Structures are given as C-alpha cells and as structure tokens.
Homo-oligomer: A and B are copies of this chain.
Amino acid sequence: MALDSLGELGRRSRAAARILAATTTAAKNDALCFAADALDSGRAEILVANAEDVARAEQSGATPTVVDRLRLDEGRLAEMARGLRTVAALADPVGQVVEGWVRPNGLVVRRVRVPLGVVGIVYENRPNVTSDAAGLCVKSGNAVLLRGSAGAIGSNIAITAALRLGVAKAGLPADSVLLVEDTRHETVREFVRLRGVIDCLVPRGGPALVALVVEQATVPYVVDGDGNCHVYIDADADFDIAERIVVNAKMQRPSVCNAMETLLVHRAIAAAVLPRLAAALEGVELVGDEATRAILPGVGVATETDFAAEFLGLRLAIAVVDDLDGALDHIARYSTGHSEAIVTRDYSAARRFLREVDAAAVLVNASTRFVDGGELGLGAEIGISTQKLHARGPMGLSELTSVKFVIEGDGQIRV
C-alpha cells in the first residue's frame, strides 16, 4: 500500500484541527481517557510491534542507550496511559480570557486563548513521545502531526492506531492524531517546510535536528535547545546548601538538559569550599581553570570547549571567579540560556543574579533540575524552549495555544 503523501496528511490534519478547535473540554478529556484505555487494551499488539523495532535496532548494532529508549514493557506502557489520564485532569487553556477591557467608544476587547491549529513534532526513537505529545496537543485543541524515526516506526504505528481509536470513540476526528509513516530522511526536510499546514513545529532531538530546522524550516517553530547550565557559589553561600545543590544538579540525572555542566565559585571561598564539593562529587570527572587546579591538584585542565560544552554525563567544568560580576560575565559568555542558579545568603547578590542573568530560568538556592514542566507545576511539558519568542522554558498546555482578539461592538466605526 502506498504511503499517504505529506500533502494529503496535512490536508487531513488541518480538517481535524478546525473541528477540534470548537470541541468542548469534556469531549477532549473523554478522548484522552479512551485513548489511555486503548493503550491498555492494545498492549499485546504494541509490545509485539515494539519487540520487532528493538530486534532490528539490536541487529543494526544500536547502543544500549538507544535500545533502552526504544524498548517498551508493560510498566512503560502503563505509564504512557497514566500520562494521558493526567493530562485529561489538567485545566483546559482554550477559552481562557487572558485580559480584557472596554474602549472609550464602548468596544469590548478581550484576548482569548485559542488552539494553535496543527502542531508538528519531529522526534527520535522514543515511542512514549507519540502518546505524550498527542495527549498535550489534543487537550489544547490542536491536531498533531507526528514524524517519528524509522527505528521506532512499528511501535509508533501501533501506538497511533490505539490513540486514534480512543479519540474517535469520543466523537472527535481520528485525524486529530496523525503519524507520518514515510520515514525516509528526505521527508524531514519536506515536513519542516509544510507552511500553511503546520502552525507550530516542535523539534525534539539533538543539535543536528535543530540545525536542520533553523536552516530549512519555513513553518514557525519553538526550539528545545541545549542546556549548558551553571551553578554559581557566591562568597556568602551556605556550604551545606551549596553541596546539596551541586550534587543534585550534577548527579541526580546527568544526561538531561537541566543538569549542571559548569560550577562557578567565588574566589574568597574557593579554597574553603572546593575540596568539600569535589569530595561530594565522587565519580564525576572534574576539569578546572588554573585557580581551581591550584586548590584541587588532581583536576584536569578545562579548555574553552569544556566551558562551552553540554556534557550530558559525569563530567564537570569548574571556574573560580573574582566576584558576582565575574560570574555574570562567565554566564553571559557561555550560557545557552537554559537554567542558571546562584547559591547565596546575600539578598542583593540574589537580586542582581535573578535580574541580570538572561536565561529561560534563573534560580536562587535551588537545583537546576527543577526546571521541568512537572516540577514547576505545569502538569506536563511538550519540551523546554531555549528561545525567547512565544515560549521560554518548560512548555505546558498554555504554550500550545495562541491568543486571539475578540472585539464586540454595536455598530462602531473608525473616525
């Protein structure tokens, strides 16, 4: 059977989006709960399809990490279903009146949240993204057009089939959730150029995918970029808190974007605190600047590349800075604008850091690991934006909406 062309899928997706935009919250919640039920009852088929994807990946010599991300089991499937039910329980952003006022001539003006329309997702071989993204998009009234990887295509087809069943059972268009089954590499380029079809593209992948989107996309997009996150230990820091946060930010889950990659320490306390922090970071490979290495002789040399790197692993760059200004300068130079933290008891240092650091999230006396939609209370997230337009930081349901001006009059004309 020939695969549907992207143009045809786009047309169907837009038609579904128009219906979804005028759907009640109750119907959308039903759709999500029925989709969760369908994941539960379709468990056997999904696991069979996934086992084939996993076998292919193993045969082609994929790394254990890649295989692990790809592999589903009963527990992970149950978690995907639970995720859909959680999103069903969240507040619907659509229809929310963001602000409103009355003009001198009597016009009543409101700005009201509306769905974006069609949300496109390009992602790698994590089949759970298929249901997570579909749940968030449908709840916010958007049709979702999914473009997963070739390596997970069997799993994605099986998961999408279940989701579509649930959505249709609630009386919504099955095409609210559509998967691009043609996973040839060329279709990514075509996908990111579906202008007029995709209202918002969320690329979920590494730097190569982001670069392709920035260069080639003609559709609006939100970039979920790198996180070169810093923790700065101020002269007036509480050392216990500093140790706790540094260990948590680096070691609790080193492979994610909100983990710390560079530690900055105020010169006045460097000799006192660095040995203690280094001991607590046992198992982490440390590299440092000259001042750090004078205090911690065993530590390797940190290069420019280290200070610019998102290691995503158990490696940490350390620099000693003269003062808060030194820390701010270092961060302004190397930060990717994701999450930046200061540990201090000094009120004015905290205030300046919060104000002057240019990042999606700035923290005082808390681990960078909190910069996550769930942890911050958004309920769920579709990604973490490192750009400044539209959304910045963790993106929840509200960030999957736009706002329209609703203007009511009784015959006003402009003079």
Contacts and interface: CB of A to CB of B under 8 A. Distances in A.
A393 B404 contact: yes
15 contacts: A109-B376, A248-B413, A252-B413, A359-B404, A360-B404, A361-B405, A361-B407, A365-B411, A366-B412, A367-B413, A369-B413, A370-B412, A370-B414, A376-B405, A392-B403
Interface in A329-359: 332, 350, 354-356, 358-359
A322 interface: no
A371 interface: yes
B389 A220 contact: yes
Nearest to A392: B402
A387 interface: yes
Contacts of A252: 413-414
Nearest to A385: B402
Contacts of A350: 408
A411 B218 contact: no
Contact of A404 (B361, B390, B404, B413): B361
A89 interface: no
A215 interface: yes
Contact of A21 (B195, B356, B369, B411): B356
Q: Which of A358, A363, A376, A388 has the most CB of B within 10 A?
A: A388
Contacts of A18: 332, 358
Q: How many identical subunits does the complex contain?
A: 2
A388 B356 contact: no
B241 A411 contact: yes
B363 A408 contact: yes
A165 interface: no
Interface string A365-392: 1110111000111000000000111101
A283 interface: no
Nearest to A366: B409
Contact of A366 (B248, B358, B367, B408): B408
A8 interface: no
Contact of A245 (B21, B354, B408, B411): B411
Given A370-B107, A389-B200, A402-B392, A364 B238 contact: no
Contacts of A200: 388-389
Given A410-B241, A414-B367, A103 B377 contact: yes
Interface of A is mostly: mixed
A203 interface: no
A215 B215 contact: no
A48 interface: no
Contacts of A117: 358, 388
A121 interface: no
A387 B215 CA distance: 19
Given A413-B244, A413-B245, A404 B101 contact: no
Nearest to A412: B366
A407 B117 CA distance: 32
A91 interface: no
B358 A21 contact: yes
A214 interface: yes
Interface in A241-267: 241, 244-245, 247-249, 252
A406 B362 CA distance: 5
A58 B409 CA distance: 44
Interface in A37-93: none
B408 A364 contact: yes
B245 A363 contact: no
A114 interface: yes
A136 interface: no
Interface string A290-314: 0000000000000000000000000
A22 interface: yes
A31 interface: no
B220 A363 contact: no
Interface string A187-200: 00000000100011
